Every structure is written in structure tokens, then in C-alpha cells.
């Protein structure tokens, strides 16, 4: 691996090429640099290279980093959210990707209302249907989306998924396609209340495939910052 700056150059080149293959404009795709467990100095290096979107998994870490880095950035909360952490998450996050139940949506709505904020959210869909994974089962996606759409202080921007870890670039292509189809169908069938403009899918191992299948936001950590060390 190269420096953070060099890695970002490679990834942006890959993003451009994936867009070209898919007949999409590069401006349709946002790279989220997933900086969880990584020091502020790494984030500053990425900011220096022109990045403005960062993803964090842990509320504590998100809060600490947003307090330390005062640049005007977009912070994406992408990790599983517990209800007792919602208040802090709503204060610190620009957008919460990991809304995995109606009850957590209700809690976010309540905290957003207290702050006078309209909180942008994504609904996490369990595309692999594995029992152990977070996310709304795809068969319940429509019903749950419409229920969450009733909450006044939330704005549903779209869907996100975390499919099984990909063995190769193509392994999750059908899951990505399934999520794109869900998003298109919901926009078509419920155009009076839904305007879904974000699709958060694709990680280090498969972001190019996700872009080919319609991702608007790819979440890339390891390929930018290197392997994570959870023991530090
Ligand atoms: C850690 C994480 C990523 C980044 O994964 P990499 O494989 O390091 O690119 C993306 N999305 C979510 C939800 C994550 O937790």
C-alpha cells in the first residue's frame, strides 16, 4: 500500500473507470473515507488530499473526532446504533446510515426534534438475509420504509447494505442490484412521499462493482488507511 494520498488517487481512478463502464457521471458517486479506529492525523491527511466525507462506526469516536476536527465535513455514522447513543449521534452526524428498525428510527426522530434538526437517514437493508446480520429484511422493506416516512424529523435519503464479506469483486453484485431495484421501485410507487437519492453500498473489496450497480456512496476504509488494529 502507498501513502493515504496515493491510495486515494488509485481509488478515485478506479471510481472514474467504474463510472465510465456504467455510463455514469463521476459526480454521481461520493467516496466516504471510513476512518474508524484511525487517528485524527490520518483524517487530516485525507482532508489535505481533498476528501470531505468521513465514516465512523462508534458514536464515542465520532463525537471525539468531530470535536477535534473543525473543518466543514460531512460525517457519516455507519455503525450499528444503540438507543442510548442516539442523542450524541444525532448531534454529531450529518447522516445516519444504519437505521435498522422502526424503534431506533423513532428514537432518532425524538432526539432530532429536541434539537430542531431534520436528521438525514438511510435504512439498512439485510440483502444477504443472514440471521446474524443487522438490517431490515428485504421482504419487509416497503412496509418499514413507509412507517419511518411518517416521522416528521427524519428525512429518508435511501438505503444502505452490508452484504457478506466479498471473496471477490463480483460476489455481491446481485445484492447490490437488488438494493438498487428496491430503491427505484420505492421512488416509483411512492413518489408522493419518497425521494430516495442515496444508495450506500460497496466497501474496499467491491466498491467498483457497487458503482456499476448504482451506488451513490461507497464506504472505503482499508484500501485508504490500511488494515485496522483493534487492539491498540
Ligand atoms: C468498516 C466498514 C466499512 C469499510 O470497510 P473496508 O473493508 O475497510 O473498506 C464500510 N462500511 C461499514 C458499515 C463498515 O463498518
At residue 38 the predicted structure's pLDDT band, cuts being 50, 70 and 90, is very high
Return the closest-CA partner of residue 53 out of 229, 227, 216, 228.
216
The closest residue, in CA terms, to atom 10 on ligand 1 is: 219
pTM of the model: 0.96
Residues 6+ apart with CB under 8 A from 37: 61, 228, 229, 230, 232
> What is the rounded average pLDDT for all residues in the chain?
95
Predicted confidence (pLDDT) at residue 130 exceeds the cutoff of 70: no
Q: Of the residues 122, 203, 205, which should be mutated to test ligand 1's pocket, given the most ligand atoms within 8 Å of the CB?
A: 203
- Phi (first) and psi of residue 55, to 5 degrees: -120, 135
Strands 136-137 and 154-160: unpaired
CATH class for the region spanning 4-225: alpha beta
The closest residue, in CA terms, to atom 13 on ligand 1 is: 78
* 176-224: pLDDT as tens digits: 999 999 999 999 999 999 999 999 999 999 999 999 999 999 999 999 9
Q: Which atom of ligand 1 is nearest to the CA of 165?
A: 7
% helix / strand / coil in the chain, to the nearest 5? Answer: 45, 20, 40
Q: What residue spans define the domains of the chain?
A: 4-225
* 135-171: pLDDT as tens digits: 999 999 999 999 999 999 999 999 999 988 777 888 8
Name every protein residue with a CB atom under 6 angstroms from any ligand 1 atom.
34, 36, 57, 78-79, 162, 203-204, 219-223
Amino acid at each position: 500500500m502507498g501513502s493515504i494520498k496515493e491510495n486515494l488517487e488509485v481509488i478515485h481512478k478506479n471510481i472514474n473507470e467504474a463510472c465510465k463502464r456504467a455510463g455514469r457521471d463521476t459526480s454521481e458517486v461520493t467516496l466516504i473515507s471510513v476512518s474508524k479506529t484511525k487517528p485524527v492525523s490520518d483524517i487530516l491527511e485525507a482532508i489535505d488530499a481533498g476528501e470531505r466525507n468521513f465514516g465512523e462506526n462508534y458514536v464515542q469516536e465520532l463525537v471525539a473526532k468531530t470535536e477535534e476536527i473543525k473543518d466543514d465535513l460531512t460525517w457519516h455514522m455507519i455503525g450499528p446504533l444503540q438507543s442510548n447513543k442516539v442523542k450524541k449521534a444525532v448531534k454529531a452526524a450529518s447522516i445516519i446510515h444504519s437505521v435498522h428498525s422502526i424503534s431506533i428510527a423513532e428514537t432518532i426522530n425524538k432526539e432530532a426534534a429536541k434539537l430542531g434538526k431534520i436528521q438525514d437517514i438511510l435504512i439498512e437493508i439485510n440483502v444477504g438475509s443472514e440471521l446474524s446480520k443487522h438490517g431490515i429484511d428485504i421482504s419487509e422493506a416497503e412496509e418499514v420504509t413507509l412507517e419511518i416516512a411518517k416521522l416528521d424529523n427524519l428525512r429518508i435519503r435511501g438505503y444502505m447494505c452490508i452484504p457478506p464479506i466479498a471473496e471477490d469483486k463480483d460476489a455481491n453484485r446481485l445484492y447490490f442490484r437488488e438494493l438498487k431495484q428496491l430503491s427505484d421501485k420505492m421512488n416509483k410507487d411512492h413518489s408522493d412521499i419518497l425521494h430516495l437519492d442515496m444508495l450506500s453500498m460497496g466497501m474496499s473489496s467491491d466498491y467498483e462493482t457497487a458503482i456499476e450497480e448504482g451506488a451513490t456512496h461507497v464506504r472505503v476504509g482499508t484500501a485508504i488507511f490500511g488494515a485496522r488494529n483493534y487492539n491498540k
